[in-house]
Structure 1
């Protein structure tokens, strides 16, 4: 079996899909993307395709080593994300060639279903609680929200109390049987995190995600020691080497992204490293169906898995395209806040290629927001 063709597709709202075709008619799909840099990652995939066309796609580990290390300059979000999508597609091909789901190739399932959480949309406390009530009505027992808008390096007491009030209102709305995960998006400075997290402790969040920027991840130990709130980080870390200095800091949850951190192959290794530090795995995935499927295969085969992010109802519960590019949307079977294994071989989903090509003809130029403080200076989004 040989790789004969590689194509990328910019699919709205902000995705990049990769199609790898073989001379035996087996096609694998991956999702290499840096949100807001789709064109750049597509160019990186095209550049490394020279190393893949004409080769056997089943030599996944050898391809991973060459693509990750064969260039003098390595790593970083763009190259690691290009590699991640390619890796997903190669696992998809191998599973299809053998007629088995990818999780079987990873040692088989260690659970029968995967717990997922739903993002909450809304700018006000009442909108958030309405969204939470909807999520609970749909069977979810875990939700996640952004805890704040932009924050200054050391913001006012009112800003801190506003965060606490927002989370308190949500906790009162859903009760104690629902887990609440809190995402700060790196908007807290270390000083603000030390001030804020102890006030959040009584609300017992499942975890607090990215309390500080990834640049300071290796310095999380004092923060972890100063709070009982479980800390989570990792969506902006791209390899096991990036996680090497973070896992011993006392974080509770590692959050590598299957489309950023080297794909299935590398996240599998990160998960094993995390287990040695008693750190749970909760893959980051606010992306499309291919990245979600790849994440699920890791989840089913990983003992220290905690919970899975997914983009169904991501801030737009009534207009979400996660399932619109699948031949069978029921491949992701949701019930009681859990998802069962995708039924087919490989990644277990069948991509509607016609729908993808139609969407890609429209394309996208998604960019994240740029925020500024009241004085005009840049603010973390």
Structure 2
């Protein structure tokens, strides 16, 4: 029996944590277990999972390992545990695919498409120069974009704040025309009182979707927000299991779910979330402002999910100031975008080859990224 014999963790810029898992037959699998800004916390959780459950075990029992890691600790769920499980799960699927010589999507039922549509970020954290950036990305071949709706927003803000958000989207729409999709991310910065007004104000400019119009702890407000717009509603990046998503499926309000393959239990759990979404006529658009292993994992699920709509990816995103996605790959052409799509990788496992020497070199530096703390003009803490 092949056994899990070793693991290593690498914290690398700009804000990622990579996991390398090795088996007794020499197979190496990679995962990306991280909570942005909490890499050291998740690192400890991954170490505990290996030392408690995984070393010496058969790597092929992926579902059984998932259940043991999730249920075995009694206390379950949340971003830290589920992100730790996610990265381990990605690595185990990578190993299994490599051992069998097939892409992971072949083990999930085979591909239902030949390529996956992706979108490109514009505008930064505090959105600015969005029209110019949007035009540049469309000229580069992207057919879908995403931008933040606002910077800080008070619980009840001024008409000028709403108008500014609408004007920004209007400028993008004018710059790119009506054949380009433009998603708008509220980023949980918007209280439900303003979400209704903002969603209605943006609608004349036909956003692709409005994302996370309220924080997930206020998902009960989504039906009332939906009454103020016909724009599709998307959410899910801060929801960590199929049980978290169950409520929004049963509401019937959300049109697009966005589980994160590095936060919501990995490939095993997100494929189940995708299948649940299909039963409720809800599209899948995995969240992924992360690194190449997370993106490769997303593509494997997208390839096999009939309801996959589009894929987020972090090339040139405003967080990637020191390193970018392709730099960690031995062959960056695996993510070569063509007309706004990425082809399905045909390599075994996750379909990417990590440049291990480069990872080790980058892990030698000081990586200490944390989410910014924003404040309102009265000094109170604002949602980032």
TM value normalised by structure 2: 0.97
State the distance in 2 between where 1:302 and 1:35 align: 26
**Counterpart residue number, 1:37:** 38
- Counterpart position of 1:183: 185
Q: How many residues of Structure 1 are paired with residues of Structure 2 in the alignment?
A: 381
Range 175-184 or range 223-232, more displaced: 223-232
Rate the CA distance shift 1:213–1:348 in 2: closer, same or farther, 3 A: same
- Select between 326-335 and 220-229 the one with higher mean Cα deviation: 220-229
Moved more, 348-357 or 309-318: 309-318
| 1:119-134 aligned within 5 A | 119-121=121-123, 127-134=129-136
Q: 2:239 aligns with which of 237, 241, 257?
A: 237
Deviation at 1:248, TM superposition (A): 2.5
User: Does the residue aligned with 2:30 lie in a helix, a strand or coil?
Assistant: strand
User: Residue 314 of structure 1 contacts residue 320 of structure 1 at CA under 8 Å; is this kept in 2?
Assistant: no
2:290 paired residue number: 287
Alignment correspondent of 2:15: 14
* CA displacement 1:37-77 (0-9 Å, x = unmatched): 00000000001112100000000000000001100211100
Counterpart of 2:339 (choices 327, 336, 340) is 336
In the alignment, the residues of structure 2 paired with residue 375 and residue 124 of structure 1 have an alpha-carbon distance, to the nearest angstrom, of 19
1:287–1:310 contact (8 Å) kept in structure 2: yes
1:351 aligns with one of 347, 354, 364: 354
> In the TM superposition, what is the alpha-carbon distance from 1:343 to its structure 2 partner?
2.8
Q: 1:58 aligns with which of 50, 57, 60?
A: 60
Cα pair 2:131 2:168 within 8 Å, conserved: no
Secondary structure, aligned partner of 1:107: coil
Cα distance in 2 between the residues matched to 1:101 and 1:125: 38
Partner Cα distance (1:320, 1:101) in 2 = 27
2:308 matched to 1:305?
yes
Give the TM-score taking structure 1 as reference length.
0.97
How far 1:130 sits from its partner (Å)?
1.5
Paired residue secondary structure (1:95):
helix
The SS at the match of 2:325 is: coil
Say whether the 8 Å CA contact 1:121–1:316 is kept in structure 2.
no
What secondary structure is seen at the aligned counterpart in 1 of 2:182? strand
Out of 158, 168, 171, the residue aligned to residue 170 of structure 2 is 168
Question: SS at the partner of 2:141?
Answer: coil
Partners of 1:42 and 1:125 lie apart in 2 by 32
1:378 to 364, 376, 381: 381
Partner of 1:219: 221
Distance, in Å, in 2 between the alignment partners of 1:271 and 1:198 is 29
Q: Is the contact between residue 207 and residue 229 of structure 1 (CA under 8 Å) also seen in structure 2?
A: yes
Range that drifts further, 312-321 or 191-200: 312-321
Supply the RMSD in Å over aligned alpha carbons: 1.4
In structure 2, relative to structure 1, the CA distance for the partners of 1:369 and 1:61 (3 Å cut) is same
Q: Any stretches of 5+ residues in structure 2 without a counterpart? A: none
Distance 2:379 2:266 in 1: 38
1:157 aligns with 2:159: yes
